[in-house]
Amino acid sequence: MAKVKVGVAGYGVIGQRLADGVALQEDMELVGVADVAPTLAIRALKEKGMPYKLYSAMPENQQLFDKLNIPIAGTLEDLVQNVDIMLDATSAGVGAKNKELYKRYGKKAVFQGGEKNSVADVFFHGYANYEQGLGQDFLKLTSCNTTGLIRAVDCIDRKVGVEKVAITIIRRVADPGDYHRGLTNALQVDKAPSHQAVDLMTIMPHIDATGILVHAPVTHGHIITVLAKTKQKISKETLLEYFRENARIRVVRLEDGFLGNASLFKYARDLGNPRGDMYEIAVWEESIVHSGDDIMFAINIPQESDVIPENIDAIRAALRMQNDRMEAVGLTNKYLGMRPNKGV
């Protein structure tokens, strides 16, 4: 069976990781990546020997690439014509403009969380609503925080049902290497409810969700506390069992040295994961407590990499590579090297 041909538009924080993730899928072929200028990521790609073909999304910048001897395989339009589906990881708003190009050539596309929901036919999550994405032309992923939050809530909901969640998000202020947010020494509170809670209800409309978000002057990972009202009361041990069954959730313990977001980032680097990435969200065993019949826990969101598996799920759904949800996410997990985690 021929491999599905995939292109990536935007070779930034997410685009780099999408390219790597697609390249690992044995039933997909990464045709190439596109960007507008020789950014540091593109320069690193060249220094690594150009493992991926590079296409120019802004042909008028050709001389900038020529000056650095960076080979260009063609234009973004050329790339689009040679793929079955595009993963659009461009800056917010650019994807909506690129959509017109995708439509012109009858190509499907997957957009990231920064785009408006109106850009897509379906607001998509691999575990929670895979079936709604089947055969659709345009899918939009949830943000990194919402992606991880839905993983955890969906994991519980499919076992015992969830009626309501209340969340608090301690949000990293910028990605590593970013300077546009400035140098800060403050916490900033957003107006409630946070968009992550609203987005969860869009994906899982049967759950009542609300939340508060606090920006923190750190760069490696968000932390979310979740207070869940379940339809059946569950014990801490049962909840841990549910989480450990899920390949995209890693159970960790404070006792073992996982003290926070920085511990998890360092652990990912010690594992040898490229860029210190971790596809899994992490839940702290010691954070799980009861509040009456409700249950509370805290999760870590590796914001640069946790959406990669769901993007690949979206390819599988849009192209109907697998109609069964668990078969699809299982293949994504397998090719990414993820395994059900039984604790560290």
CB atoms within 10 A of CB 255: 10
**Spatial separation of the C-alpha atoms in residues 230 and 114, rounded to whole Å:** 30
Q: Tell me, yes or no, if 155 is annotated catalytic.
A: no
Residues 6+ apart with CB under 8 A from 62: 56, 72
Cα three-residue angle 289-290-291, rounded to 5 degrees: 125
Six-digit token string for 45 = 């790609």
H/E element holding 211?
strand 208-216
Q: How far apart are CA 313 and CA 124, in angstroms?
A: 9
Binding-site members are: 35
Residues belonging to the binding site for NAD(+) are: 35
CB 165 within 8 A of CB 200: yes
- Active-site pick, 144, 207, 218, 239: 144
With the C-alpha atoms ordered 106, 54, 43, 277, is the resulting torsion angle positive or negative? positive
Residue 141, helix vs strand vs coil: strand
Question: Do 305 and 248 form a contact (C-beta atoms < 8 A)?
Answer: no
Report how far residue 99's alpha carbon sits from residue 82's, in angstroms, rounded to the nearest whole number: 16
CB distance 84 to 25 below 8 Å? no
Residues recognised as catalytic: 144
